[in-house]
Amino acid sequence: MTSFRILFIFFLLADSLLKLYLNHRQIKSIQKNYQQVPNAFTQYITLEEHQKAGQYSLAKLSLAKTEIMYSALILLAFTLGGGLEFIAQYLISSNYPLSSEVSLIIIYTLLSSLLSLPLSYFSTFQIEQKFGFNNMTLGLFIKDLFKGLILSLVIGIPLLYLVMWLMQTLGTSWWIWVWLVLVGFNLLILLIYPTFIAPLFNKFTPLEDLELKNKIDNLLTECGFKSQGVFVMDGSKRSSHGNAYFTGLGSSKRIVFFDTLLKQLSHAEIIAVLAHELGHFKKKHIIKQMIVSFGLTLLGLFIFSLLINQSWFYNALNVQTVNHASGLLLLSILLGLISLPLAPLSSLMSRHNEFEADDFAKEHSNKQDLITGLIKLYRDNASTLTPDDLYVKFYYSHPPASVRIANLER
């Protein structure tokens, strides 16, 4: 027990120190290149725009430092500080053990979200506001919180009851059945998200620009892609950042453009960006990512099945209430601490997928349109053009701007 507790403290310290080190490297890289626009972007981005991106990135990195230390203290409070055990002891007297375990997970999740709320508020109404990206009102911020809470409870409570029931009744094979339930649940969410969930938060309207719609239809036909339609999302009511994405599964797939993106890019650039997104679909990147995610979930559940009845696992983290709910929460905490060392592999795979999608876009659109479209997005979203190489390896799911554009120009 003592050895495992020491190991936990070691991983917590290592995780925090590594994040702080990477954060420091990113800050130094931005500051080093603050006074000069990289040569590849001098004809597209002014020094003022480059420095705004630097200031914006530095502000977010400063908040991230606070978040790293704050999150570590919260984890200590819930584990070695006895927070999780205090909640579990309060609920254990219930005559309904299944409900008490579900309640433990819900209360822990709600408290964690509540504790992270000040940082979320500061990010939105201080940093995003200062740099001209925030369009969200305090009323909408609170409304989103309540909508998200209610939706999480409506969807999450039945799922938790089913998972806890399976763990209590199926003996040593529970982890296989729980995995199958989680896979089915995720696929169901992907299927219903575009039609039933996303509209709770945003308004989606069919694309009205007939000229652009015809160009999109031609591209979709050329690429053999069928969707439920092309929609415009009112992203501008929350932020001025632009984006585009695919959502849904099977026949529920739809293409979504932020209204801000349509204002930022020309038709040709929008087609090029869409061709990139189609590249992800044609190269089956989403399916591959789902397979990897489901595989890791299965591995995590199997590992937990070996620890579920080991009292030392709980006691080492100052939890005496040995049950499925407290065990799942402790496992999620531990997996969070060991995920960062694995991040470079995940990020590398993601950046490889982006290169493949860019190569696909070059075949089905004008590569120069994609380059200028990407540069506009980097500029208008104030993305730094001079990231640190090691920071990129850990955190960047997309290649840095200079690397990505160099690949497109080859």
Mean pLDDT value across residues 98-113:
93
The answer to whether residue 3 scores a pLDDT higher than 90 is no
Q: What is the pLDDT of residue 321?
A: 87
Mean pLDDT value across residues 153-157:
94
81-90, 131-140, 165-174, 251-260: lowest mean pLDDT where? 251-260
Q: How far is CA 149 from CA 108, 122, 143, in A?
A: 13, 20, 10
Which is the catalytic residue, given 85, 358, 369, 388? Answer: 358
Closest CA to 231 of 216, 241, 219, 221: 216
Closest CA to 165 of 174, 156, 173: 174
Q: Do the bridges between strand 254-258 and strand 230-233 make them parallel or antiparallel, or are there none, so unpaired?
A: parallel
Contact 348, 393 (CB under 8 A): yes
51-60, 68-77, 104-113, 314-323: lowest mean pLDDT where? 314-323
3-state secondary structure of 296: helix
358 carries an active-site annotation: yes
The answer to whether residue 196 scores a pLDDT higher than 70 is yes
3-state secondary structure of 98: helix
User: Taking all residues of the chain, what is their mean pLDDT, rounded to a whole number?
Assistant: 91
Q: Give me the amino acid identity at 205.
A: T
Which is the catalytic residue, given 144, 234, 259, 277? Answer: 277
pLDDT-derived band at 1 (thresholds 50, 70, 90) equals low
Mean pLDDT value across residues 101-130:
94
Q: Domain 202-286+346-409 class?
A: alpha beta
Angle at 74 between CA 70 and CA 76, to 5 degrees: 115
Q: How far apart are CA 253 and CA 55, in angstroms?
A: 38
The 10s digit of each residue's pLDDT in 34-93 is 999 998 899 889 999 999 999 999 999 999 999 999 999 999 999 999 999 999 988 877
Closest CA to 158 of 195, 125, 188, 193: 188
Backbone angles phi, psi at 271, to 5 degrees: -60, -40
24-38, 71-85, 127-141, 247-261: lowest mean pLDDT where? 247-261
The CA-based diameter of the chain, rounded to the nearest angstrom, is: 70
Q: What is the pLDDT of residue 308?
A: 86
Q: What is the pLDDT of residue 193?
A: 86
- Structural tokens at position 146: 């309540």
Mean pLDDT value across residues 223-228:
80
Mean pLDDT value across residues 382-400:
95
Helix axes 267-282 and 285-307, enclosed angle (nearest 10): 50
Contact 236, 260 (CB under 8 A): yes
Q: What is the pTM of this model?
A: 0.90
